[in-house]
Amino acid sequence: MSTWKTIVVGVDGSPGSRKALTWSAAEAADHGADLVVVNVWEHTLLPPAGNVSVSERYVPDPSQRTADDLLQVIKEELGDNPAVLIKAQVKQGRAAKVLIDESENADMLVVGKRGHGGFAGLVLGSVSQHVAAYAKCPVTVVR
């Protein structure tokens, strides 16, 4: 048994990321490591509506909904009392870059083979490919 301190797992709510969450929680428990569960959202511009003026209506912060969603996924997959210490984080940016940055302080980075984006027929998603190639720690891609 190694002396790992931190396992980071990327979770977007997809079936693949849920499997990665469950696998990484078991691995963290086996190694006595903390589990950092990271969800990344990317800011996208609203489509043009034909009016150049800025809306005065309140636009909710998408990270809050994502934080609530992430906590719900963790609860659904790991239950109310997980066997490991979990730190849930929601970050804005491109998923691969954020996860690669997070890998700097991790003993292992875990991702699912495919997330919500891209083309369903591909064997491995683009985020999984990028983190496997550029992470600063060992990477596990859960199928």
Q: Is residue 51 part of a domain?
A: no
Q: Is residue 70 part of a domain?
A: yes
Cα torsion 122, 127, 128, 132: sign: positive
Q: In the chain, which ranges are continuous DSSP H helix?
A: 15-31, 62-78, 95-103, 126-134
Mean pLDDT, residues 8-22 taken together = 95
For residue 5, CA distances in Å to 85, 93, 103 come to 11, 25, 12
Q: Is residue 120 part of a domain?
A: yes
Digit-coded pLDDT (tens) for 69-107: 999 999 999 999 999 999 999 999 999 999 999 999 999
Q: Is the pLDDT of residue 121 over 50?
A: no
Q: Is residue 143 part of a domain?
A: no
Domain that holds residue 30: 6-43+61-135
Q: Is residue 96 part of a domain?
A: yes
Which residues make Cβ contacts (< 8 Å) with residue 77, sequence separation at least 6? 18, 21, 22, 25
Q: Is residue 35 part of a domain?
A: yes
Q: What is the pLDDT of residue 1?
A: 52
Q: Is residue 92 part of a domain?
A: yes
Q: What is the pLDDT of residue 50?
A: 56
Record the pTM. Answer: 0.83
Which CATH number fits the domain that encloses residue 99? 3.40.50.620
* Alpha-carbon Rg for the chain in angstroms: 16
Tokens matching residue 21? 């969450």
Q: Is residue 109 part of a domain?
A: yes
What total number of domains does the chain contain? 1
Digit-coded pLDDT (tens) for 16-57: 999 999 999 999 999 999 999 999 988 665 555 555 555 555
Tell me the sheet residues that pair with 37. Answer: 9, 88
